[in-house]
Structure 1
Amino acid sequence: MGARVELAVPGSDATLGVIRHGHYGRPVIVFPSEAGRAEDFANNGMLGAVQDLVDAGRVSFFCVDSLDKFSWSAYDQPTEERARRHRVYHSWLEQSVLPHIAWEMGGWQSNIITFGVSLGAFHAAHFTLQRADVAPLAISLSGSYDPTSWRPWGEIGEATYFANPPAYVAGAEGDHLEWLRSHANLLLVVGEGPFEWEPTKSYPSTLAFAEVLQSKGIPHQLDVWGHDSAHDWPWWRKQFAHHLPRFV
């Protein structure tokens, strides 16, 4: 397993971890599932599922910790406060993780893939839509993309809107919409099997998000697996191994 590196969270004394797997190839930021850690990618067999690509020097994974317990999973906080807290995580990604990847890869990168499962799928899609200049491709498995559906309470404001991909993509227009069309590409994968409907709502959320992307002309692919495909690691390993080779 790669060595864990702690990177400072801007504006605080806290750190979050990053683990690199691989020495060459296209960089991938790997987001864990809800409240997960950088170790989860290897511990759940995701690295092993694509080890041949790592060994061939085609891909390097930069697995990151989540900050979900402080933000989206802090259900004692209103939705708007959770969204404001998410900005701390986004700042960490921009100000700490991206420079770390540039240092590790020997120069600034503009072809990063983002990847995640479950809540990590949301993080992957959101980061690509925000920073498609450096991370133009998101691979999102079994995601739920609308934070207003995650045990919402309190008044919804600007912070939630700008952390809600289906909302801000639907509202995009003009130069910003053209920028998204020319820079971003998303692969949305979901199954129809156990836990993809309830309680995660990943299946309806993924299809609804794909419809918004389609309506705005933003490049994307939707891949729906069958009724045996569950919201769980064995299926995510299969889906990842199926799709990743054509991008690296």
Structure 2
Amino acid sequence: MSERVEFNVPGTDLSLGVIRHGHWGRPVLVFPSEAGRAEDFASNGMVEAVQDLVDAGRVSFFCVDSADRWTWSDNAATTEERAIRQRDYTSWLEHAVLPWIADQLGGERSLATLGVSMGAYHAVHFTLTHAHQAPLAIGMSGSYDVRSWHGHGDHGDATYFANPVSYVAGMHGEHLDWLRSVASVLLVVGQGPFEVQPTQALPSTLAFAELLSEKGIPHQLDVWGHDSAHDWPWWRKQLAHHLPRFC
């Protein structure tokens, strides 16, 4: 594991961090669960769950902090205000994290994205908006409609372009054709505790998979059983089940 490295978020006083696990292999940009930190992935056993892949040089994880406390988890702000702040977080990823990853790897390489819970939203959203850099997304137990996240106020352009359910529904023409040719999304969700209430992960994942189907965007949907909960033990199992075929 590398040491934590921090970078300022453009246009703010925030500083967020990134940690690397692994020395070689497919680079995976990892988003934590809601309001989480870069350390959470390892501390919750996710690296250990696929340690064989890490040790074999098949995968490197680049785990980032979230900015959710300032964006989507700030219920005092309107949905549009939170979406505008999300753009600053995306700018941090684009202008600080990705160049650092490229420096670590000795040049730019195609990334995969990965996230659990709210991190699944971040992973899928980043791939759908940056498929030229990160064409594969793995979202586990995610919710993909930001308008449902205890928001208030009017929804403007920032909300639209931060909301996969909205902008995917609006896609057409050459851009949609291009996205179909490069992007792939894996949606994983359980049917057990907390996957419906309060997270709405199960219904949101099913609805979003249907939307991807309607748009012809390559994706896979994997629904686990009624014992599969919205929690780290199940995310460890799901990661160990799916990741080997991607790296």
Deviations 1:11-62 (A, max 9, x none): 2343210000011001000000000000000000001000110000000000
Question: What amino acid is the match of 1:221?
Answer: Q
Aligned residue in 1 for 2:100? 100
Aligned residue in 2 for 1:215? 214
Q: TM-score, normalised by structure 1?
A: 0.98
Aligned residue in 1 for 2:80? 80
- The secondary structure found in structure 1 opposite 2:221 is strand
Question: What amino acid is the match of 2:144?
Answer: Y
Aligned residue in 2 for 1:43? 43
Q: TM-score, normalised by structure 2?
A: 0.99
Question: What amino acid is the match of 1:195?
Answer: F
Question: What amino acid is the match of 1:82?
Answer: R
Aligned residues: 247
User: What is the alpha-carbon distance in structure 1 between the residues aligned to residue 167 and residue 13 of structure 2?
Assistant: 32
Structure 2: 5+ residue runs without aligned partners? Answer: none
User: What is the alpha-carbon distance in structure 2 between the residues aligned to residue 47 and residue 188 of structure 1?
Assistant: 20
User: What is the alpha-carbon distance in structure 2 between the residues aligned to residue 68 and residue 41 of structure 1?
Assistant: 16
Deviations 1:225-245 (A, max 9, x none): 000000000000000000000
User: What is the alpha-carbon distance in structure 2 between the residues aligned to residue 201 and residue 127 of structure 1?
Assistant: 21
- Percent of matched pairs sharing the same residue: 70
- The secondary structure found in structure 2 opposite 1:228 is coil
User: What is the alpha-carbon distance in structure 1 between the residues aligned to residue 151 and residue 54 of structure 2?
Assistant: 40
Question: What amino acid is the match of 1:219?
Answer: P
User: What is the alpha-carbon distance in structure 2 between the residues aligned to residue 8 and residue 131 of structure 1?
Assistant: 21
Question: What amino acid is the match of 1:47?
Answer: V
Deviations 1:173-225 (A, max 9, x none): 01111111011100000000000000000000000000110000000000000
Aligned residue in 1 for 2:128? 129
Aligned residue in 2 for 1:61? 61
Aligned residue in 2 for 1:166? 165
User: What is the alpha-carbon distance in structure 2 between the residues aligned to residue 125 and residue 11 of structure 1?
Assistant: 24
Matches within 5 A, 1:1-248: 1-109=1-109, 111-248=110-247
Question: What amino acid is the match of 2:160?
Answer: Y
Q: In the TM superposition, what is the alpha-carbon distance from 1:115 to its structure 2 partner?
A: 0.2
User: What is the alpha-carbon distance in structure 2 between the residues aligned to residue 13 and residue 34 of structure 1?
Assistant: 20
Q: In the TM superposition, what is the alpha-carbon distance from 1:7 to its structure 2 partner?
A: 1.6
Q: In the TM superposition, what is the alpha-carbon distance from 1:152 to its structure 2 partner?
A: 1.8
Moved segments of 4+, more than 6 Å: none
Question: What amino acid is the match of 1:43?
Answer: S
User: What is the alpha-carbon distance in structure 1 between the residues aligned to residue 136 and residue 194 of structure 2?
Assistant: 26
- The secondary structure found in structure 2 opposite 1:244 is helix
- The secondary structure found in structure 2 opposite 1:162 is helix
- The secondary structure found in structure 1 opposite 2:162 is coil
Question: What amino acid is the match of 2:143?
Answer: S
Structure 1: 5+ residue runs without aligned partners? Answer: none
